[in-house]
Structure 1
């Protein structure tokens, strides 16, 4: 069993030794719950098709690396988005120092975590927004692909180049992408190139870039559709309004800009439509997402963070457009409970679990290796997504509502139905031809898993469900 209380005890001494600056005063947060889960079923297996990823935020050689990797394994994470920091690797022109990353990649793979390498952050002597800098970046990317071929076969071209991590224009990024993609393939024919990696679902910027880049220069399009504090199903995106429209595009876009009044999947639809218009449909990956649990504007409660993490992942898989989701990040980036950038993790800064840690871990145990079958209900208020486990001859229904109370009706087979909440609390309903043959099930904003033999079917029922 994976016991998160024991995990916290194991890690606390390490944290106190490694981070003395945060140990001087009283802890700013403490979890007081315990969840026992079965071991992750594919603990150290490398599963290329898994949708479950995380942003590792690891530094090669950090002293508590093993604790982080074990926590990711406990979560059931199968992909890690890892920075390969250009300025750390190329410390003099044309001279690359890979050894620390060799060790990091091997340790990640030993824990069943495949690597998505993010190539970003230039040394001072290269400017990637210039032709010469793009050429230097392509050489760096080619060298990375050659060295790690067979160990890292997915490479991301920069991070959020539509925002503060990039000092050039969309045209400059297009030149970088067009140079780096073919260079990577030259070194590793099996490599896959992940393009854009943009903040927001920025279809305006994406259109300017991709019109200038050959479609064969990249394989996957990635984006970071943060939308705190709104739920993914909400037809309003406060974050896009305040940050994208009013800040990034102040004076350029009206406050009724179309994507402000869309759900996450409607925004995604705009991106897929753009790719089709350009004649370059590609799989989509969400390579950053989270709901910040800070106590301040745009924050959400830790319990709601857990609910929304599950809902977002299931929506993404059920959309049939998004292949993988990478949560930002494993742990909080600090201990300030009021700070948005600190409160991002599934775990606290000391790696003790938040509710979202337990919810994510139970989600991977329920859904890893399952096949999406259909959506019995897909909004706007009620969602029921059906997954199939052929090996166990079972269906798994994930059901929730974007409102406090709703009802669905599920057929109860003779073997009965097993219900789990997001933390794995189990309830069983036996078959009764009169009372439970067609069972009315209350659902809420917190998802439930309904498990039974193949052939389960759900229908939406009006409140109160009779």
Structure 2
């Protein structure tokens, strides 16, 4: 998704079949619910929402400002906070330092698009041709080794090799290939910690980069442990299309690995949705996670956790038109101020995790109807985006119905009326 400048703003605030791996890997009891960013400032808010894993930057330029000279203090603190909160970290590499670049004037994309001149902030996401790819390999090794849980600096079990490498602000694909980064990043991580799991750098929606997806799956699948893609749209059901596409390509190439969606969000705005834009996002939180899990996705991460306020949330922003992607955030806060103002999406996230965390299986019963097995109980998530939807035939008796905002009601199953707003249904008699 085109959000390079957006990420700069955020930095200031903070069951498939066949051979595809299933979402309920035997022997794991990990949370499947993730978000992007915020672990340093808001660990309690993440805990309260039921977040089990946070996707966080590994800032190469900050950690290794000069070749061979390291400053681990900020990353150590990030890992320490996450470990103490019982939240996993998925780290991904950003901020290639100038000393490691072959060509320091690597902002041709921005210049061509007549965008604002690059600066210290927005250059942070630009990886370009390296002087020596071994510099990155050694850095990846150092990160994995330091956070292997055995050297006194904490544990980071998951590492992603760059981000959205088919999108120019993040990666200069015209002047360097991703493959050496993936190979050297993978091998460096495994040298540092053989137990660490490596993710391929998140595909922008795989439907948009089909040739690249095929090349990675066909020729380089041995250099990642987990497949990883992103999915944004106004239509939440597109997450099913994207997932089924990548599962089909994995099956075609004989790739058997877990799949994560490390960024997803519902595109909404006051212009498109009027006063209901927050509700649209909140409903999308539940729908996207549920549909993804029903397709066999192992973990899902909402993007972003926090963003600057919309014009109607804080008066000082009334004259500015926010970046549209920021409306997806689960909460808002002002720059340089440690504050967390939940939006309905944050509430919906917490309702969802309170009902589904720890599920061992998920399956689609019918369109927009899903069954989860949670601690030996069947929990249904239902909604209807059209008219005339009926409840599953196996649902009977007295049930507890919880809407996406946490409002509960005890009623006969026959009294459930399905609407576009998802409800969570549990049998009680």
Q: Quick one: structure 1 residues 48 and 149, their matched pair in 2 at CA, closer, same or farther if it must change by over 3 Å?
A: farther
Is 1:122 equivalent to 2:96 in the alignment?
yes
Q: CA deviation at 1:218?
A: 0.7
Q: What's 2:284 paired with?
A: 308
* Cα distance in 2 between the residues matched to 1:191 and 1:291: 31
Structure 1 residue 264 displacement after superposition? 2.4
The one-character-per-residue Cα deviations of 1:113-152 (angstroms, maximum 9, x if unpaired) are 1000111220011135446442211111110000001300
2:99 alignment partner, SS class: coil
Q: CA deviation at 1:341?
A: 3.8
Deviations 1:52-90 (A, max 9, x none): 0000156x6xxxx2xx11111111100000001111111
Once residues 141 and 169 of structure 1 are traced to their aligned partners in structure 2, the CA distance between those partners, rounded to angstroms, is 23
Q: How many residues end up aligned between the 2 structures?
A: 356
SS in 2 for 1:180: helix
Q: Is the 8 A contact 1:418 1:426 kept in 2?
A: yes
Counting only pairs closer than 5 Å after superposition, residues 237-252 of structure 1 correspond to structure 2 as none
Shift of the 288–298 alpha-carbon distance from structure 1 to 2, 3 Å rule, reads: farther
Distance 2:216 2:411 in 1: 54
1:268: Cα distance to partner?
1.8
Give the superposition deviation at 1:440. Answer: 5.3
Cα deviation 1:323-343 (Å, max 9, x = unaligned): 111111111245456421432
Q: Do 2:129 and 2:172's aligned partners in 1 also have CA atoms closer than 8 Å? A: no
Partner-residue secondary structure (3-state), 2:56: strand
The alignment status of 1:217 with 2:223, answered yes or no, reads yes
Q: How far off its partner does 1:429 sit?
A: 2.0
2:166 alignment partner in structure 1:
162
Q: What is the aligned counterpart of 1:207 among 207, 214, 218?
A: 214
Q: Closer, same or farther in 2 for the Cα pair 1:112/1:90, shift >3 Å?
A: same
Matched, 1:174 2:159: no
TM-score (norm 2): 0.77
Which stretches of structure 1, 4 residues or more, deviate above 3 A after TM superposition? 128-133, 208-212, 296-300, 333-338, 409-414
Q: In structure 2, what is the equivalent of residue 77 of structure 1?
A: 51
- CA shift for structure 1 position 48: 5.8
TM-score by length of 1: 0.71
Give the C-alpha shift of residue 370 in structure 1.
2.2
Give the number of the structure with larger relative contact order, counting CA–CA contacts within 8 Å between residues 6 or more apart. 2
In structure 2, stretches of 5+ residues that fail to align are 1-11, 14-27, 102-126, 150-154, 313-320, 334-338
CA distance, structure 1, for counterparts of residue 202 and residue 43 of structure 2? 24
- 5+ residue gaps, structure 1, are 1-20, 23-46, 234-262, 431-435, 455-466
Deviation at 1:97, TM superposition (A): 1.3
Note if 1:51 corresponds to 2:32: yes
1:429 is matched with which residue: 380, 402, 411?
411
Which deviations, in whole Å up to 9, do the C-alpha atoms of 1:370-428 show, x marking residues without a partner?
Answer: 22253321x2xxx22111233xx5321111122255221555666x2111111121111
Computing the radius of gyration from Cα coordinates, the structure with the larger value is 1
Note closer, same or farther for the CA distance 1:274–1:376 as it changes in structure 2 (3 Å cut): closer
Which residue does the alignment assign to 1:400?
383
Separation in 1, partners of 2:142, 2:29: 23
336-345 vs 188-197, greater mean Cα deviation? 336-345
Matches within 5 A, 1:289-308: 289-296=264-271, 301-308=277-284
